[in-house]
Amino acid sequence: MIETSTTPLDGKCPTGPIETRWARHKEHLQLVGPTNRRKYNVIVVGTGLAGASAAATLGEQGYRVTAITYHDSPRRAHSVAAQGGINAAKNYQNDGDSVHRLFYDTVKGGDYRARESNVHRLAEVSANIIDQATAQGVPFAREYGGTLENRTFGGVLVSRTFYARGQTGQQLLYGAYQSLMRQVDKKSVNLLTMKDVLDIIVVDGHARGVVVRDLKTGKLDAITADAVLLCTGGYSNAFYLSTNAMKCNVTATWRAHKRGAFFANPCYTQIHPTCIPEHGESQSKLTLMSESLRNDGRVWVPRKGKDTRAPGAIPAAERYYYLEERYPTFGNMVPRDVASRNAKYVCDDGLGVGQTGRAVFLDFKDAIERLGKEEIARRYGNLFDMYEKIAGENPYQTPMKIYPAPHYTMGGLWVDYDLMSNLPGLFVLGEANFSDHGANRLGASALMQGLADGYFVIPYTLAPYLAKYGNKGGVAADHAEVRGALEGVAQKTEKLMSIKGERTVESFHKELGNVMLDKCGMSRTEAGLNEAIAKIRALRSEFWENVRILPDKDATLNVELEKAHRVADFLEFSELMCVDARERNESCGGHFREEYQTDDGEAKRDDENYAYAAAWEFNGVGADPTLHKEPLTFEFVKLTQRSYK
């Protein structure tokens, strides 16, 4: 039986006109003077867009920053893989865009399960991000006259997405990276590479440091500070096969959760509609094909099942352009959750293509005839090349085959308006927090949130906490809580190494992923979620009895041990995902409960009972968590049944 707290969570959002909330909030924030900032130590975990931008900006302000990554270089952070673009309310196309429209589209796209105040702030600062990135030299695409070019993404009716061909994340990360390395050179940022954060140090109820394991030597160290910023991304690898890099994990946020930080809306996961389909059982990850391709590619399947003709041999009358027919206003540019579910529907109906029948066509024939091959290559050339290398087919000549795959997670650690978790001193930025996207993220908004949090939010909201609670020097290395955290990680590592069972770490991860994708993936049911919880508990028990880690030495580079820590956390966290999905008896955005849908198969919300963020408190492995609710109020966007028809 799930216990629910009777005290509502307070997001500490400003009140009054939403257009001025952020500005008025900044005016009343306590400051730390330039000469005092060097007295404060700040840890930034993760060096993707959120982490690199935060570390660079705080270092520039004068704080003493320690930036930690488990990569050999910040440039390997998974932000580098983002392809399609970044949203900003610049209205360069003069097509009716505005801060309010970006705010409205984001709230609606998230199926009315996000805070209005956070979303409006995100829309406000979006334009600043483009100016910042352009000043850094990020090579955004430009029109003939030299002005920055835009394209559209799913769930909107304007063109507000800035892009750098199909490498937008890479170029934005390089911009943030060069700013970070400038601060490293100035010695305001201490960059630690190949360090894996395995615990949060909590002293007197405040986050005061982290425990790291050196991935080359196995040595454990404690790093203490006045505040900790987690910028560690999402948890899509709970599904095993996802578009995330194989090292992406939930470990830092999950272990912070076990130290007292609430985990919010873990069931809000995004299945991206345009990915290269799975090719075999030995595959270890899936490949994203940017949503931007739906600007010019048309999605279709044959109207007749098991049609073995070549795509070009199927006449137009025998093609089912299902998104264009079902959603005439938005067509192929519906939001991701809608596009993904519809791909699943047509494949479930036997209309899918390819050897497995779990794929649909993304066809560029009409766009090539209309615009020419050279223009399509200019827009998407690197994506077409990548597809041909992986799939062995030339998309200029034959349609791509695509199918949905786990991609992004809207859930994360609960934070207030200042991006601080309920655990004082622990701030959470970017995809690692829950705050901005509700139950479904619109395309090209992940990069926007990561850079907004790092460049334009945390530099304001961190100072009041440091001014009030910072002890100007951190915590002594021999403090009891520091020693206890180090000993706890050492004991867990020793336990993993001592099991010496018969199954690989990979086999447990893969089995878990199959359970999660089947029971807690694109659609869920109460019965299926209960079945998943039982299977996860049994699998977790077997893991701690039968896993085998080779080489059986800790004090060395040991990728299997590194992976074992992460899979152990996924085996705990995935249960919470399923519990959250089971307890939310509605459908909204990427959380689709089959019991709660409209007559035409769309998500059916229950605003009377579920208009809240679900923040979960850890009570022990296998024990029922406690639910804390943050009510969501909508003053500026009217709650309606979401429609893209």
Question: Could you tell me if residue 397 is left (phi over 0), alpha (psi between -120 and 50 degrees) or otherwise beta?
Answer: alpha
Question: Please, what's the b/e burial string for 557-581 (b: 16 or more CB within 10 A of its CB; e: otherwise)?
Answer: ebebbbbbbbbbbbbbbbbbbbbbb
Mean of the pLDDT values across residues 347-364? Answer: 96
| Model confidence at 5: pLDDT above 80 | yes
Question: How far, in Å, CA of 554 to CA of 215, rounded?
Answer: 10
Which of these three, 375, 405, 435, is where a domain ends? 405
Q: Bridge partners of 189?
A: 65
- The tally of CA atoms less than 13 A away on the side-chain side of residue 262 is 27
Q: Are 272 and 408 a contacting pair, CB within 8 Å?
A: yes
Host domain of residue 597? 493-608
Residue 35 confidence (pLDDT): 95
Give the pLDDT of residue 556: 86
Is residue 645, in this structure, part of any structural domain at all? no
DSSP letters for 345-368:
HHHHTT---SSSS--EEEE-HHHH
Residue 546 Cα distances to 227, 501, 508, angstroms: 38, 4, 10
Find the helix or strand (DSSP H, E) in which 435 lies: none
Residue 44: strand pairing partners: 67, 229
CB 536 within 8 A of CB 575: yes
Helix (H, G, I), strand (E, B) or coil at 250: coil
Q: Are residues 509 and 401 in the same domain?
A: no
What CATH number does the domain containing 359 carry?
A: 3.90.700.10
Q: Residue 382 domain-assigned?
A: yes
Q: Judge whether 212 lies within some domain.
A: no
Q: Are residues 498 and 400 in the same domain?
A: no
Query: What pLDDT does 258 receive?
Result: 98
Catalytic residues, by residue number, are 336
Please give, one letter per residue, the 3-state secondary structure of 220-238: EEEEECCEEEECCCCCHHH
pLDDT in tens, 456-502: 999 999 999 999 999 766 788 899 999 999 999 999 999 999 999 99
Span 257-262, average pLDDT: 98
What contacts 343, CB < 8 A, 6 or more positions away?
A: 273, 299, 360, 402, 403, 404
252, part of any domain: no
553, two tokens:
């030495």
Tokens of 353: 């293509």
Q: For 303-329, what is each residue's pLDDT tens digit?
A: 999 999 999 999 999 999 999 999 999
Which whole number is the average pLDDT over 392-403?
A: 98
pLDDT score, position 473: 65
Give the Cα separation of 470 and 581 in Å (integer).
38
How far is the CA of 483 from the CAs of 203, 225, 424, 477, 488, in angstroms?
11, 15, 20, 8, 9
Confidence (pLDDT) at 280? 82
pLDDT tens by residue, 335-347: 999 999 999 999 9
Q: Give the amino acid at 531.
A: E
Residue 445: both structure tokens together: 């908004």
Look at the block and give the residue holding tokens 């779990």. Answer: 358
> How large is the average pLDDT for residues 607-632?
98
Distances (CA, A) of 551 to 144, 214, 324, 558: 57, 16, 54, 7
Residues of the chain by 3-state class (helix, strand, coil), percent to 5: 40, 15, 40
| 279 & 383 share domain | yes
pLDDT for position 551:
87
Pair (276, 387) in one structural domain: yes
Q: Are 289 and 356 in contact (CB under 8 A)?
A: no
What is the rounded average pLDDT for all residues in the chain?
97
Residues in Cβ contact with 200 at an 8 Å cutoff, skipping those fewer than 6 apart: 207, 209, 210, 211, 228, 252, 255, 256, 259, 261, 423, 426, 485
| Per-residue pLDDT tens digits for 55-111 | 999 999 999 999 999 999 999 999 999 999 999 999 999 999 999 999 999 999 999
Q: Is residue 43 part of a domain?
A: no
Domain membership flag for residue 526? yes
Looking at the structure, do residues 503 and 395 belong to the same domain, yes or no? no
User: Can you name the residues that pair with 161 across neighbouring β-strands?
Assistant: 87, 151
- In the chain, the number of structural domains is 2
Residue 74: asked if its preceding bond is cis (omega within 30°), the reply is no
Tell me the pLDDT band of 553, cut-offs 50, 70 and 90: confident
In terms of Cα–Cα distance, which of 131, 130, 124, 128 is closest to 101? 124
Question: What confidence score (pLDDT) does residue 8 get?
Answer: 97
Q: What pLDDT is attached to residue 67?
A: 98
First-to-last C-alpha distance (Å) of the chain: 40
Are 362 and 298 in contact by the 8 Å Cβ rule? The answer is: yes
What is the residue whose two structure tokens read 């949130």? 449
Same domain, 388 and 500: no
Query: pLDDT tens across 6-40, in order?
Result: 999 999 999 999 999 999 999 999 999 999 999 99
* Helix 559-583 / helix 480-498 crossing angle, nearest 10 deg: 100
- In a domain, residue 511? The reply is yes
For strands 263-264 and 412-413, give the pairing.
antiparallel
CA-to-CA separations, 537 to 106, 235, 423, in angstroms, rounded: 36, 19, 28
Mean pLDDT, range 613-626, rounded to an integer? 98
CA distance 552 to 624: 34
Can you list the alpha helix ranges (DSSP code H) found in 392-479?
A: 446-451, 458-469
User: DSSP for 169-215?
Assistant: HHHHHHHHHHHHHHHHHTTSEEEE-SEEEEEEEEETTEEEEEEEEET
Residue 154 counted as domain residue: no
Is 458 exposed, middle or buried, given 0-12, 13-18 or 19+ CB atoms closer than 10 A?
buried
* Range 250-268 average pLDDT: 98
Helix (H, G, I), strand (E, B) or coil at 120: helix
Last residue of a domain, one of 353, 382, 405: 405
* Residue at a domain's end among 384, 405, 426: 405
User: What is d(CA 503, CA 97) in angstroms, rounded to the nearest whole number?
Assistant: 54
393 and 507 assigned to the same domain: no
Whether residue 156 contacts residue 442, with contact meaning beta carbons closer than 8 Å, is answered with yes
Please say whether the beta carbons of 211 and 489 come within 8 A: yes
Name 348's Cβ contacts closer than 8 Å, sequence gap at least 6: none
User: Which CATH number belongs to the domain containing residue 506 in this structure?
Assistant: 1.20.58.100
